[in-house]
Amino acid sequence: MVRRTRLEVLNDMLVAIQKAGNSIKPTHLMYKANLSHKLLNIYLSDLISRQMVIEVMVDKTHKNIELTDRGREFLVKFRQIKEFQDSFGL
């Protein structure tokens, strides 16, 4: 099992949100992205600070994570980086 890079984890999280229709519950995101609760919080704050996702309150106690345009741009950029990496064997 190869350890994922920070970028790969962020990509996995964004892909999970996109697959769930651009909005997902934090617990679902944790399972879909294969993360522990602690790591989810670390990476989620990273994504929020980069404005790739936003937290939206569904009701008084529950919130959802939603993908932003910047997040969608990152997904495209990540696919290109992966392609560049694979094409040049880097």
Residues that bind other proteins (CB under 8 A): 5, 7, 76-77, 79-81, 83-90
Provide the minimum distance between the beta carbon of 77 and other proteins in the complex, in angstroms, as a whole number: 7
Provide the minimum distance between the beta carbon of 82 and other proteins in the complex, in angstroms, as a whole number: 9
| Minimum CB distance to other proteins smaller for 50 or for 62 | 50
Place of tokens 């106690």: 61
Provide the minimum distance between the beta carbon of 81 and other proteins in the complex, in angstroms, as a whole number: 5
**CA triple 9-28-51, angle to 5 deg:** 50
Q: Give the residue among 15, 32, 19 at the shortest CA–CA distance from 40.
A: 32
Q: Are 43 and 26 in contact, with CB atoms under 8 Å apart?
A: no
| Minimum CB distance to other proteins smaller for 1 or for 88 | 88
| Minimum CB distance to other proteins smaller for 61 or for 87 | 87
Q: Which amino acid is at 71?
A: G
